[in-house]
Structure 1
Amino acid sequence: MAPCSQTVAVVGAGVVGLCTALEAQRNGFQVTLIDRDEPGLGASFGNAGYLATELIDPLSTSKTLYSALSMWINPHGPLSIPFGYIHRIMPWLSRFIVAAHPKTVSYGRTALQQLNQAAIPAWKRCLANIGATDQLVQSGYLLVWESEDKLEDAKAHAAHMGQWGIKTELVQGKRLKQLEPEIAENINHALYFPQAYRVKEPYELTNILFSAFEANGGTFIQKAVDGIVPNTNKVLIQTKMATIEFDYAIICTGAWSKKLLQLVGLEVPLEAERGYHLTIDAKDIKLNHPIGSAERRFVMCPLDSGLRVVGMTELGGLQRKPVKRRFDSLRHHSRQLLSRLNDPALVVSEWAGYRSTLPDSLPIIDKHPHYDRLLFAFGNQHLGLTQAAVSAELVVSLMTSSSQFVNLEPFRVDRF
């Protein structure tokens, strides 16, 4: 364990940064958390609340590439690339296409499976340490299909999951209605994941993590970081108000990480991927499980705040305003799965935020190649909440030179 005199700055107060700050505290460090916004207000605020450990396939596969055009031109499709941004994203798209090579996909799948397999145990440890295990719910998960002719797809996916030790049950008819009485009649079949987890409420979870961090003596600075100067003995963090010296620093700034890495001489092909959500105040519509649509590619999850509907992949950078029709698409899709949502009186809130996405779908969990005291944990794409606690344990183990329970070679910062 590191002596209590050692200091670490964790830059980024989303769920990955909060878990990292707590893990550093548990290892004896004096931790300062730095973010330009209040804790938990980025992508951590808007996620579905579902811990999607079964998502072990990288986003870039031959199947994805074959379906990309149809997803893009579909007015309710899950993929959007604004025409005015295509020229800027072409280098990233080129890398994404190359990442669909079968060997690259297989390598990435193995890496994601190892990380996701360790995700729930890491969350249990994190929450047990702060007395908040009630925030984790073993809810199960339903992946649904509407088309009868997609039954073989479900069976093939179940077999694929079984190869990786992920338990599923193919459900139809009475069994499906028993699991989810509110499900629409047009749902033909589903895969049930009985061992799946969700959290009660993502934003409340970040508040609990932050309260525990402060109770453990942590310091929070709400300032934007303008500079990072690492050397062999220290890391200087610069804001407009001050320059602060730390023994270590860990960058956990999600979609904003690319600019910070450029300050320390590193280029990573990180893209900001905007996601959209609706939160529906639907107290009379009881959903027992998180539900994902295999065909429509979105997720609904019951949370304390209401029914969360999350979807869309919009690759358009960090500057564009949210597009209203994306929210309309989420309304359209959710009503196809839960017909009782066709009620104009329901109160619905809208939100859009940014995920950090790399072409190979793998996060970065690593040290700077030249400065051991500067570390990174970001780029978890759609799995930021899922992988937050395990990413925290792994990046802190790098900082303390402890043994790792996951092979970190696939997550190197200089792999591109």
Structure 2
Amino acid sequence: MSTPIAPEVVDHVHEVARRARRASRQLAQLTRGEKDAALLALADAVDAATAAVVAANGEDLDRGRASGLSENLLDRLTLDADRVHAVADALRQIATLPDPVGEVVRGSTLANGLQIRQVRVPMGVVGMIYEARPNVTVDAAGLGLKSGNAVILRGGSAASSTNAALVGVLRSALEAQGLDPDAVNLLSEGGHDAARALMTARGLVDLVIPRGGASLIRTVVTESTVPVIETGVGNCHVYVDGSADADMAVRIVTNSKTHRPSVCNAAESLLVHRDAAARVLPGVMAELAAAGVTVHGDEDTRGYAETAGARWVPVTPEDDDTEFLSLDISARVVDDLDAAITHVQEHTSGHTEAIVTADRDAARRFTAEVDAAAVLVNASTRFTDGGEFGFGAEIGISTQKLHARGPMALPELTTTKWVVEGDGQVR
């Protein structure tokens, strides 16, 4: 059994949630023009505070290095001036997107004259529990504002100074626009108890979204009494089919693994059809070696890796299920498409899977049989991203099947309401 949550922490989180719920009622009434004007004001405020945000981020980075954070986690944590500007620009992009609130999903007029329509409405209060990704702080606030939701943020301790600086800027900018600053809230105290109190504040919080590693997501999913959307863990595969163009395969595998290895849409596993191995693996291994990737491979890949100068270690069953988030990749040669699909289905985390092939039938089978939020044909796994899909900033990538799946943007932060209008009808 879990230890009881400190009563003072529960009281604090519940008070924050009550204030957020009050703010959500104001947000639900805003027009698109009002929300977009506020988003642009928030973006300008973040840009104006760049120096202060970078300084606060420096405090987090110093603590992270002192505590032995890995380079990949430090990269996720880092906000330099260019990244702060990119975060502000994400708010401006959200302002250009259609407002989902009020959209009519479906509707009709019944035989008795009743007019019924299903419309999108805000969730209300959304809790975010996440790790060392301070850009999530601003993305969540912007997406929450545009979709009419108040947000309660519980970021990881590694980014505490950065998150406090960013939320301070956002709350001040909201207040300057005449909006309730409790539309954006940060739980900066209470440690893990604050996260537990947030995920059990049923009736005050409408939805919790965890964003981080497997352990964090598993904890939130299993302990939360508030509805949860599961996100993020990405054991993504690239399967190179027997008919694949070798140059294309090299580009896609290299980009999928090395473009930014610390994120959830980076490739962690490589499968190569036996008929393509001699054509594809020399080039793939040369590029992986140049990038410093360690190949956790089977014996069929060993010779190619060693010839190319890549570091090769024997693959283990645990490697097949590992989200490395580093310059490591598992690699196997498989006999055919069936073997590739079977392997993917046994080890997928349901995030993103890719096939490289010139065979349309193979592509159709792969997309039909592989069960994941995104299945890509002849493209890098790095494209599974709300911005790349044209959704603007994303609040996460859902790996579950109910309500939302894949990159989650504005529509996924709404629910629906039935509105029925009559002129005196009775049943």
TM-score (norm 2): 0.24
More strand by share: 1
Which has the higher relative contact order, 1 or 2, with Cα contacts under 8 A spaced 6 or more apart? Answer: 1
Question: Rg bigger for which structure?
Answer: 2
